[in-house]
Amino acid sequence: MSQDGTPDPYSDPLVFGQRLQILRTRKGMTRDQLGGLLGLTGSWVKGVETGRLKTPKLAVILRIAELLRVRDLADLTGSQSVNIGLFAGPGHPRLAAVKAAVDAFPLGNTPEAPPTAHLRARLERAWSARHSAPNHREVIGALLPELIRDTQLAVRQADRASGRRAAQAALAEVYSLCQFFVAYQPDPALLWRVAERGLIAAQESEDPHAIGVAAWLAAQAHRDSGPAHFDAADVVNLETLAYLEPLLPDASNDVLAIAGALTFEAGYTAARRGETGTAWRYWDEARAMADRLPTEYYHPVTSFSRAVMGAHAVTVAVELHAGGESVRQAAAADALTILSRPRRARHRIEEARGYQLDGQPDVALATLDKAHEAAPETIKYNGYAKRIVLEEAESKSPARRRRASELAVKLGLLAA
């Protein structure tokens, strides 16, 4: 029993239906909402929760875990035989060092901070490394501890208001880089600490681009926390867009791009809600903003560009559970034009989701292989990819089962 008097879903005597009801309620989702997202009904959910209907098959369990953002299937099933982290990847070896740097509060004798221009050059190299390296978490995880410390020192030691604002903008961007590293690892409290510090540093900087980037990441953190947090995602997102809108006629490419990225994020959240018209309207608005950017422009943080709009269209269609539309959009999008390896890998994962929705599991697995080739550390931490692999590992087709099992070994889901 938890401290608030509700049954604990981690207590062994609880059966699947009871665990489902507790976890669904904690996420703020109604039976009708969950049933609709599953393509079923609220009464079906009630039947499972009350024990009138038997425990669903693995494919449905995995989909439920995806929707409820269950970190470990054992939390839902009660069985340790499926003890896998679905939406929280394995803790990266460098996570402890990054966490220690975030948590540190240096107030004693400290070295002189590097100039802000020097920090900016290091940040530029860090972003470049993140986008170009297949093991991008390893690369930025090695850079972050010292970068966090030095940028915090720059803020503390700034002796003029303008210098302090510039240092705060750099610190906000360091926290943005840090959030990419921390996302989908087993420390949600650290993720929120990083996101909130990024927002505060960005506000202190008074830099529109820094504010936009911090809001973009905060909106994602809210949305990824589940349907009960979609409204919070919209508040952060839309208020930041309202702040940026008067600046756009004369904005730099970076400010225009972050506004475009935020516009798409509003559509992404709408798609998660199942609001088809709203989702595509925001996508259209984002595409118009992308068209104002130079052909070769690529936003260093969000990857927003003309090239990425095709990938965004796939994401909208997938979140709306429109399999056929997902496949059509995937055919129109060219992943090779996406310069960032982790963003290209994520696009491949979204394509794979579309192919599976469209009843093409073999193509889905082949597409996940391409995601692994682009950036192994992206797919390793992606719950959607893991769900597809685990589901197809129980396929009735021996060839498909073998291919899924081989991919599961690559992702560390199964022992070699």
Are the C-beta atoms of residues 350 and 329 closer than 8 Å to each other?
A: no
Give pLDDT tens digits for 147-184.
999 999 999 999 899 999 999 999 999 999 999 999 98
Are the C-beta atoms of residues 357 and 368 closer than 8 Å to each other?
A: no
| 42-46, 212-216, 263-267, 381-385: segment of lowest average pLDDT | 381-385
Q: Please tell me the predicted confidence (pLDDT) of residue 89.
A: 58
Q: Is the pLDDT of residue 415 over 80?
A: no
154 CB-side CA count, 13 A = 27
Q: Please tell me the predicted confidence (pLDDT) of residue 39.
A: 83
- Please tell me the distance from the alpha carbon of residue 36 to that of residue 323, in angstroms, as a whole number: 16
Q: How confident is the model at residue 391 (pLDDT cuts 50, 70, 90)?
A: confident
Ordered by start, the domain boundaries in the chain are 16-82, 307-416
- Give the domain 16-82 fold: 434 Repressor (Amino-terminal Domain) (1.10.260)
Q: Is the pLDDT of residue 225 over 70?
A: yes
How high does pLDDT run on average in the chain? 89
Q: Which amino acid is residue 371, in one-letter code?
A: A
DSSP tag of 51: T
Are the C-beta atoms of residues 146 and 169 closer than 8 Å to each other?
A: no
Give pLDDT tens digits for 18-60.
888 888 888 888 999 899 888 889 999 999 998 888 888 877 8
What is the value of pTM for the model shown? 0.81
Q: State the virtual CA torsion across 253, 133, 378, 275 in degrees, nearest 10.
A: 10
Q: Please tell me the predicted confidence (pLDDT) of residue 29.
A: 87
